[in-house]
A and B are shown apart, each in its own frame.
Chain A
Amino acid sequence: MVTLRLFAHLREIAGTARVELEGETVAEVLSAARARFGDEFASGLQSAAIWHNGETASPADAVKEGDELAIIPPVSGGSGTMAQGMVDSALVAGLVGLLLLIGTNLAPGPAWWAAGLVLLMAVWSVDIAARLEDRGREPVTLGILTAIVVAVISTHVYGGVGLGFSLYISVAVVLAWGVVVSRYRQLTDVAPSVLIALVATSGTGSLMLTRTIYEPDQHAISIFILAVGLAAVVAAILDRVRAPLLDPYSGTALAAVLGSVVGALIWEEDVVGFVLVGLGLALFLVVGRSLGSILRTGRV
């Protein structure tokens, strides 16, 4: 029997961190694991690093009784303790982000709100770019950050037209970066960079514009913060605790609709309208998470 140690989402799929399996070689043990834990596990296995008694292993390596194989997916951070640390720092970051949005929304005038958004989008872009770098890509991080700043200024000055302009700018800045710096000329680096820049700039511009137009009278931003915050909290809980009938994605979607409706009731807004907004948010949250997962790990 060989001990297989599992980390991150492979551990979640298998429902255990440690399993004993039969096999003469690394490949045989892994195929026994595939047979036991199914297709989702098998696809996760493709991008995972395999360690045999603390050394990198290849499929043909022979294994014997009492050996230990560790399967470490790229997102786990390398070991059990690291994975645990990353989970906590992600929670803290999410909470800080939420408080930042609430605080800057309460502050009068658009300046604090804009500054908070830029900070949040910058942190997110740098984080997702770092994950791409982990996978050997070279995202145009500085170009993305430049695009975010340009988006804030252009949306503040020109409103809706500025938001449209900032989308054009975010594509142009990232592409132009490749003209100046030769190592950013690979399509596999430019494409995700443009995508990150588009999401970050339109996110910044869109929330700025919504606050300018719909706050403080119509509470669209407060309801956004409530719905998305609730959805993130529910998703964070469901990622850690397995609930019957509710996976993280449907939990996120339900929480977004619920948050939106509760927000509309609290601030006495049009409930029917905000049910639709909640449904839209639910869809965007689920799609966005899948998109993020593609960018971070190359898989949905």
Chain B
Amino acid sequence: LGLLDGAMFAAALYYPLVSVIF
């Protein structure tokens, strides 16, 4: 399930990212 690793990491930082940009 190596493909999921990137997705999980992206999920972890998604809220901080979106809330900084918007």
Contact = CB atoms under 8 A, between A and B. Distances in A.
Interface of A: 90, 93-94, 97, 121, 123-124, 127-128, 163, 198-200, 202-207, 209-210, 213-214, 218, 220, 224, 228, 231-232, 235-236, 239, 252, 256, 270, 273, 276-277, 280-281, 284-289, 291-293, 295-296
Could you tell me the dominant secondary structure of chain A's interface residues? helix
A124 B8 CA distance: 8
A239 B8 CA distance: 19
Interface in B2-21: 2-19, 21
Contact of A228 (B1, B10, B16, B22): B10
Given A293-B2, A296-B2, A284 B13 contact: yes
Interface of B: 1-19, 21-22
Given A273-B21, A273-B22, A292-B2, A232 B7 contact: yes
Interface of B: prevailing SS: helix
A119 to B, nearest CB: 13
Contacts, number: 125
A198 B16 CA distance: 15
B4 to A, nearest CB: 5
Given A93-B1, A280-B13, A292 B6 contact: yes
B21 A207 contact: no
Given A236-B3, A273-B21, A286-B6, 19 more contacts: A200-B8, A203-B8, A206-B15, A220-B22, A228-B6, A228-B10, A277-B18, A280-B17, A281-B14, A284-B10, A287-B9, A289-B5, A289-B9, A291-B9, A292-B4, A292-B5, A292-B8, A292-B9, A295-B5
